[in-house]
């Protein structure tokens, strides 16, 4: 079986058994505690063992971006860059969209000598006792468990998108002013405030301004921060 077939099989076998009861927050950070259950890749026959991977996915506050902004982000492959160039051509550089970023923080892995259904039942009882509305349980593929986790992230993002767009639209944050979304300009103002307070480094604000092609427009104001 080649890599593409293994990937397709892992995606097919991944099932969200318990989804979070809340969508991703539009104006804040969302912490999702997950339990990812797999059958050990070494297990044979009816051996009652289940691998339980625990952790949390931290979904940062969604950002409104444009194809122009995405094309200036670092860390993307040449294929991704070509995709951004295509967006620039087909949708225009200033077409707004929502950009989600995540961080995975694993907290532990247990191998439990119990059948899958028994382990699932116990975890659901623990979640109910904690009354955690942002807990998730996922059945995945052991050798490609991170792919299973990514499928879960994609699905919760997709289910949250409509509500996030409605929230942004209701506040006028999707509106474009001189090629830049209103939300992005408000974020720049927040970064200026944080820079003055000393809670971020200067390069963080400079990088954001350059990604929007706004450094020259804000240059005098940026430099004046260091004169006080």
Query: Residue 69 — very low, low, confident or very high, per pLDDT cuts 50/70/90?
Result: confident
Answer whether 0.85 is exceeded by the pTM: no
CA distances from 7 to 41, 51, 109, 126, 144 (A): 15, 19, 22, 31, 8
| Whether pLDDT at 1 is above 70 | no
- Mean pLDDT over 33-49 rounds to 82
Structural domain boundaries in the chain: 3-62+100-174
pLDDT per position as a tens digit, 81-102 = 777 677 778 877 788 889 999 9
pLDDT at site 10: 85
pLDDT per position as a tens digit, 155-205 = 999 999 999 999 999 999 999 988 899 999 999 999 999 999 999 999 999
Q: 84-91 — which CB contacts under 8 Å span 24+ positions?
A: 91/67
Radius of gyration (C-alpha) of the chain in whole angstroms: 22
| Whether pLDDT at 78 is above 80 | no
Question: How is residue 214 written in tokens?
Answer: 């706004």
């Amino acid at each position: 079986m080649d890599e593409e077939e293994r990937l397709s099989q892992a995606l097919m076998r991944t099932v969200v058994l318990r989804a979070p009861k809340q969508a991703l927050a539009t104006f804040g950070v969302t912490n999702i505690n997950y339990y990812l259950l797999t059958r050990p890749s070494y297990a044979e026959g009816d051996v009652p063992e289940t691998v339980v991977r625990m952790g949390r996915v931290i979904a940062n506050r969604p950002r409104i971006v444009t194809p122009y902004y995405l094309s200036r982000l670092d860390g993307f492959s040449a294929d991704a860059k070509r995709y951004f160039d295509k967006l620039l051509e087909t949708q225009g550089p200033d077409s707004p969209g929502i950009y989600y970023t995540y961080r995975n923080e694993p907290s532990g892995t247990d191998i439990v000598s119990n059948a899958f259904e028994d382990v699932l039942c116990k975890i659901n009882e623990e979640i109910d006792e904690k009354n955690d509305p942002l807990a998730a349980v996922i059945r995945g593929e052991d050798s490609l468990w991170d792919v299973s986790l990514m499928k879960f992230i994609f699905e919760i993002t997709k289910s949250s998108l409509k509500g996030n767009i409605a929230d942004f639209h209701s506040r006028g944050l999707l509106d474009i002013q001189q090629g830049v979304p209103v939300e992005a300009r408000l974020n720049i103002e927040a970064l200026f405030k944080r820079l003055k307070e000393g809670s971020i480094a200067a390069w963080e604000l400079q990088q954001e301004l350059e990604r929007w092609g706004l450094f020259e427009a804000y240059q005098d104001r940026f430099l004046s921060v260091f004169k006080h």
